[in-house]
Structure 1
Amino acid sequence: MSNYTVEEKVEALVLLLRKALEAASEVEARIPYYMNAKTYASRLKRMIENALKISEEVRGELEASK
């Protein structure tokens, strides 16, 4: 990915995280509450949500600095 600009890399990261969040949400919804995996799916979803927020903030800062 060295041929891409920082902006393009951040945009790709944001899109990837959105897809991952969508998948994690779907998995979380399908796992019954009594299973331990539900806890791990919820944690994964929160991590992806936080990474997405940070990526969107970085993208906004990059756009503002132009």
Structure 2
Amino acid sequence: MTDPVLIDWNDDKRKDFRQGVVTARHRLHMDPAFSELALAALLNRHPKGLTDICTMGDDPTDRES
């Protein structure tokens, strides 16, 4: 990936970084290193005893899933 990872990073965000909450859009979902295949390979290499995977559904009010 040759484009900047952060899409909307600017001087104001740079100034506020580490001073509070800063949001930025990114391109990581476009990088093969973050593909489902790469994630599966990473999980397979990671020690099973040190793996804790948390998932969530589509309903933000559902605290049981």
User: Same fold, TM exceeding 0.5?
Assistant: no
Which has a greater percent of helix? 1
TM-score of the pair, normalised by structure 1: 0.26
TM-score of the pair, normalised by structure 2: 0.26
Q: Identify the structure with bigger relative contact order (alpha carbons < 8 Å, sequence gap 6+).
A: 1
